[in-house]
Amino acid sequence: MRDLNDAAHGPRAVGQAAPAAAAQPGRDTRPARTRPPQHRSAGHADAADRPASSTTAPGLPAQPGPAGSLPSAPGATVAPSAGAAPLPPGSSGPGGGGRSAQDRGAARELFVELRTLPEGSPQRAELRDRLVRMHLPLVEHLARRFRNRGEPLDDLTQVATIGLIKSVDRFDPDRGVEFSTYATPTVVGEIKRHFRDKGWAVRVPRRLQELRLSLSTATAELSQQHGRAPTVHELAERLKISEDDVLEGLESANAYSTLSLDVPDTDDESPAVADTLGAEDDALEGVEYRESLKPLLEELPPREKKILLLRFFGNMTQSQIAQEVGISQMHVSRLLARTLAQLRDKLLVEE
């Protein structure tokens, strides 16, 4: 019977010995499955330099032999070792479940331990913080889904962390549900609640809300592409809209959130915005009115002008003005009413 190596690879190389392949009663002499030839660099050891047990076909016992008993030959292949152990589940190698399975198992054990600890104990607080830190990547992943919507990513991450803490406190590992499956709706709901409470203090049309989101995305992309803030023209070309629509969308962003006038401008030491706003000065407003009336007063007849000056600048009553001018008090009242109506009409025309 042919040698096992001849059956698998063809004629044996000159000087090649295969003592372990001799036909014996009851032995399986079927050829071993081979792999395609591999070209190895000079720096790698050939399969022939390995122990003889690594070249034993499946079904044959490992028989150690002297080094070099199977010399290297072009196209020679090595059969997998029958004694090689498979990778355990949970390892990081091929076929393993990865570290996530181990992490989930460890987290479940920690949740079970958390439920056994009394409220307020230092051990429970430490274990609770550890579970929160273990699941922070889930928080960051969910928060990134809501970026570019007008809120800083750091703020969204903090809000999502609040939802994570609530989930850790309420999770029951005995229900057989993965913690990530249980926590995701709670974290997302906390983020959406944040948008409802903080977003769009002044109601704007939905078209402008969607336009604002598109402008925010286009601004970030163009800024990264050009290394500077994009112009209105570039934004209009990117979104295929008019420049007026771009300006309208940018202005609508101011209605997204509002600030209290009592909040400091930059830091706690800065004055509040309300402190920088001037109060209305009635005297200053009177100066404006007097300057506007001067040319109109010069156009009045002398008697009407005198009556007007005595009434409003001399603080005299109509009876006193009548005695001063030499006419009746009723006549003074009519002249004042007519003169004031003329001045009012002329001021409205100028405005």
Domain ranges of the chain: 101-198, 213-261, 300-338
Tokens found for residue 120: 């307020």
Q: What is the pLDDT of residue 199?
A: 62
Q: Can you name the CATH fold of 101-198?
A: Four Helix Bundle (Hemerythrin (Met), subunit A) (1.20.120)
178 secondary structure, DSSP code: -
**218, pLDDT greater than 80:** yes
What pLDDT does 96 receive?
37
Greater confidence, 72 or 227? 227
The pLDDT tens digits for 124-156 are 899 999 999 999 999 999 999 888 776 788 888
Contact criterion met (CB below 8 Å) for 166 and 191: no
CATH 1.10.10.10 fits 213-261, yes or no: yes
Q: pLDDT at position 51, please?
A: 44
pLDDT of residue 89: 36
Q: In this predicted model, what pLDDT tens digit does every residue of 66-114 receive, in sequence order? A: 444 434 444 444 443 333 333 333 333 333 333 467 777 888 888 888 8
Specify whether the CB–CB gap between 127 and 115 falls below 8 A.
no
What local confidence, expressed as pLDDT, does residue 16 receive? 44
pLDDT for the residue numbered 65: 44
pLDDT average, residue stretch 15-40: 46
How far apart CA 23 and CA 259 sit, in angstroms, is: 92
pLDDT band at 230 (very low <50, low <70, confident <90, very high): very high
Question: Which region holds residue 59: left if phi is over 0, alpha if psi is between -120 and 50, else beta?
Answer: left
* Structure token digits, residue 317: 């009553």
Residue with tokens 């112009």, as numbered in its chain: 231
pLDDT recorded at residue 12: 45
Helix axes 206-226, 232-239, angle to 10 degrees: 110
What is the average pLDDT across 37-50?
44
- pLDDT of 194 higher than 50: yes
For residue 264, the cross-strand partners are 272
CA distance 69 to 189: 69
Task: List own/partner pairs for 16-24 with CB under 8 A and 24 or more apart.
Answer: 16/70, 16/71, 16/73, 17/69, 17/70, 18/70, 19/63, 19/65, 20/52, 20/56, 20/60, 20/63, 20/65, 21/60
101-198 and 213-261 share one fold: no
* Region 23-49 average pLDDT: 46
C-alpha to C-alpha distances, 179 to 46, 92, 105, 144, 198, nearest whole angstrom: 49, 22, 11, 20, 29
Look over the chain and give the mean of its residue pLDDT values, rounded to a whole number. 72
Which residues are within 8 A (CB) of 338 and not within 5 positions of it... i.e. 6 or more apart? 304
Structure tokens at 243: 């420049």
List 272's β-bridge partners, or say none: 264
pLDDT of amino acid 259: 62
Lowest pLDDT segment from 28-37, 49-58, 160-169: 49-58
- Integer-rounded Cα Rg, in Å, for the chain is 46
CA distance to 134, 210, 252, per residue, from 146 (Å): 22, 14, 20
Render pLDDT for 252-304 as a digit per residue (tens, 0 to 9): 776 666 666 666 666 666 677 667 776 677 777 778 777 888 888 888 999 99
Render pLDDT for 308-331 as a digit per residue (tens, 0 to 9): 989 988 889 999 999 999 999 999
